[in-house]
Structure formats: C-alpha cells, structure tokens
Amino acid sequence: MSKRAFEVIKQIKVSTYDIDYAGHVSNISYFRWLEDMRLLLLDEHFPLQGLMAQGYMPVLAASSIEYKIAINLFDRPEGHMWIEKIGPASMHFAGEILVNGAVTTLAAHVGVFVNPRSKKPVRLPRLLVEKFENY
C-alpha cells in the first residue's frame, strides 16, 4: 500500500435513521459520513477557519461512491480519508469505509476553493500545495 497523504481515520456509528427501506445504510448517510471525514482531514491538516479567513471557500466539485458491500444497522464501520493528489486548483480526496477489515465502500471527491465574493474558482493556497508536496 502506498503512503496516503494526510490520512484520517474515523469510527462511524450507524444509527437507525441511517437505515433505508431495504434494511441497509442509505446512500445519503454515506455522503454525510464522507463529508465528516473530509472536514476532519481539513481540521487536522489545513484548518478551514484559517483558509476561509484568507478568502478560500471550499466547494465539492465532484463526488463518486462505489458500494461494494452493504453496511447494516449493527455494523461498526471505520472510515479512511486521504488526499490522493493536488492540482493547481483542485484537491482529489480518496476514501474507503471498512467493516471488520473488509472494504465496503470506495469514494473519490474533487474539491476546489472559490473566492467568497465572486464565487469563481481560485488556485489552491501555496502553503497547502507546499505541505502536500513535502508530505
């Protein structure tokens, strides 16, 4: 396994409201869990409050999820999120959710920063790019 830049791990609690009519976790819950993991990664490595104070507003530009094994009510998922790559104006996140060591879910997200006034994309903060390159 290659080194996963800025990887965070989060224990996930499956609640009754996460379960859909088919008896397993609803897709909307996966998106919420993945958002929590992206925010955890940013909080630990690139504090969002500081970025926003400098005029960088994070926006999710693309998201994909591959469901491999259903997660059920009494499962104890563990989420992993890391930065796969960084471009001049985008961050590519990768993630997975495991239950009992088995990969149940794979995810990929592309995040960008926009100027809060113009709502137009901006280049990533230089400090963020340098931190990634030196990881």
Q: Taking the complete model, does pTM exceed 0.85, yes or no? A: yes
Predicted local distance difference test score (pLDDT) of residue 127: 86
Predicted local distance difference test score (pLDDT) of residue 2: 66
Share of the chain above pLDDT 90, in %: 93
Q: Which residue segment(s) compose the domain that 21 sits in?
A: 5-133
User: How many domains does one find in the chain?
Assistant: 1
Nearest 5°: the CA angle 40, 26, 9 is 25
CATH number at residue 28: 3.10.129.10
Predicted confidence band of residue 3 (pLDDT cuts 50, 70, 90): confident
Alpha carbon distance, N-terminus to C-terminus of the chain = 16
Residue-wise pLDDT tens digits, 5-30: 999 999 999 999 999 999 999 999 99
Residue-wise pLDDT tens digits, 80-89: 999 999 999 9
Residue-wise pLDDT tens digits, 24-64: 999 999 999 999 999 999 999 999 899 999 999 999 999 99
17 CB-near residues (< 8 Å, 6+ apart): none
